[in-house]
């Protein structure tokens, strides 16, 4: 099995597809980082103009003021538990900024790296995975080399499994590189710090509303780790589905086309047909897992982290079963 996986990795590297994925990552991250940098400069300029403070120097005064303000609001007996919790979290963050002398307006490599993945998880990351997964099997079908593999003294399921495991290895590599490249490139712009800054998480949906009673702060590195773990899960899900399409369809172009259009369609289906309940069982609308962490999701009754993960797991398992059954039974006529 090990030599089969080694074979697949050698093929993947020789095809230069992995290199292509890295190139895209480098270009995109650089553009993002540059853009973020510009935005930050503009925001600072605006603040200076509007409030008469120099963002770089006077932010402490502002933070102090906000902190006192929030403490007063927290003490007010008319506040609900919900808003008290979020106030407490906000205060902790401000206090941390003051203690560590970190301007909250400043970007950091840690913040950028996390945000980059949060923004990539539902479209950009899946696209990269599709580039790798969609021709793993169909590529061999269209070039006829699948025959070379299937007439060896190796059972078919082993060959497919080696391909699938290779895909998982590639997913890890892609995420690892996305992380490292984000850190390095954004670090050049914003400095390499920020890993211990507190980030709020733990949002819930109760009765169709965002509930923040159980919100708490976790260090940025911890939060990043969660985001990248979820991204890995999403990569596995999208990878498995593309893998299935790649088994079912004989041409690479068709398999990339099918899975890409599904993905893109999913992004506006969730927007247009949000009242149609069936759509929530589609894998495409459940990919924004990190939104559950940051509390930036549209609260829909019944949709939460557990629900989305269950739906995605269902898709993954179904894809794998279909792939393996079809691949081991099919007649190879190419």
Binding site for another protein (CB under 8 A): 3-4, 6-7, 10-11, 14-16, 143-145, 147-155, 329, 331-333
- 222-224-229 Cα angle (round to 5): 95
Q: Which string of DSSP letters, residue by residue, matches 68-79?
A: HHHHHHHH-TT-
166 phi/psi in degrees, rounded to 5: -60, -40
**Distance (Å, whole) CA 87 – CA 67:** 10
Torsion of CA 98, 101, 103, 106, to 10 degrees: -140
- Residue with smaller CB distance to another protein, 6 or 57: 6
User: CB of residue 157 vs another protein: minimum separation in angstroms?
Assistant: 11
Listed in sequence order, the residues at least 6 apart from 172 whose beta carbon sits closer than 8 Å to its beta carbon are 232
Contact status, residue 234 vs residue 210, Cβ threshold 8 Å: no
Give 288: exposed, middle or buried? Use CB within 10 Å, 0-12, 13-18, 19+: buried
Q: Is 122 helix (H, G, I), strand (E, B) or coil?
A: coil
- Residue with smaller CB distance to another protein, 13 or 188: 13
- Residue with smaller CB distance to another protein, 15 or 71: 15
User: CB of residue 22 vs another protein: minimum separation in angstroms?
Assistant: 18
142 phi/psi in degrees, rounded to 5: -75, -25
Contact status, residue 140 vs residue 146, Cβ threshold 8 Å: yes
* Structure-token pair, residue 29: 């991250």
User: CB of residue 153 vs another protein: minimum separation in angstroms?
Assistant: 4
User: CB of residue 30 vs another protein: minimum separation in angstroms?
Assistant: 28
- Residue with smaller CB distance to another protein, 142 or 201: 142
- Residue with smaller CB distance to another protein, 275 or 331: 331
- Residue with smaller CB distance to another protein, 144 or 191: 144
First CA to last CA across the chain, in angstroms?
Answer: 25
User: CB of residue 331 vs another protein: minimum separation in angstroms?
Assistant: 4
Beta-bridged to residue 211, according to DSSP, are: 204
User: CB of residue 218 vs another protein: minimum separation in angstroms?
Assistant: 45
- Residue with smaller CB distance to another protein, 207 or 333: 333
User: CB of residue 25 vs another protein: minimum separation in angstroms?
Assistant: 22
């Amino acid at each position: 099995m090990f030599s089969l996986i080694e074979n697949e990795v050698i093929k993947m590297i020789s095809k230069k597809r992995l290199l292509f994925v890295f190139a895209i990552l480098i270009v995109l991250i650089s553009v993002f980082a540059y853009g973020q940098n510009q935005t930050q400069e503009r925001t600072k300029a605006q603040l200076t103009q509007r409030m008469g403070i120099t963002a770089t120097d006077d932010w402490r005064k502002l933070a102090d003021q906000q902190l006192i303000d929030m403490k007063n609001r927290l003490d007010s007996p008319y506040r609900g538990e919900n808003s008290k919790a979020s106030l407490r979290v906000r205060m902790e963050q401000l206090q941390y900024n003051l203690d560590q002398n970190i301007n909250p307006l400043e970007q950091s490599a840690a913040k950028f790296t996390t945000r980059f993945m949060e923004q990539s998880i539902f479209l950009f990351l899946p696209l990269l995975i599709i580039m790798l997964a969609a021709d793993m099997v169909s590529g061999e079908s269209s070039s006829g080399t699948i025959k070379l593999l299937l007439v060896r003294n190796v059972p078919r399921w082993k060959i497919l499994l080696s391909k699938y495991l290779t895909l998982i290895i590639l997913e890890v590599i892609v995420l690892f590189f996305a992380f490292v490249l984000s850190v390095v490139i954004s670090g050049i712009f914003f400095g390499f710090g920020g890993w211990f800054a507190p980030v709020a998480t733990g949002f819930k949906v109760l009765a169709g509303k965002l509930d923040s009673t159980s919100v708490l702060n976790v260090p940025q590195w911890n939060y990043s780790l969660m985001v990248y773990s979820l991204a890995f899960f999403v990569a596995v899900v999208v990878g498995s589905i593309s893998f299935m399409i790649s088994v079912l369809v004989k041409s690479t172009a068709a398999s990339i086309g099918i899975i890409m259009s599904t993905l893109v369609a999913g992004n506006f289906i969730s927007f247009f047909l949000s009242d149609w309940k069936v759509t929530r069982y589609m894998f495409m609308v459940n990919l924004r897992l990190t939104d559950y962490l940051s509390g930036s999701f549209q609260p829909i009754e019944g949709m939460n982290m557990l629900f989305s993960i269950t739906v995605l797991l269902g898709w993954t398992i179904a894809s794998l079963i279909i792939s393996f059954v079809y691949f081991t039974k099919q007649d190879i006529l190419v």
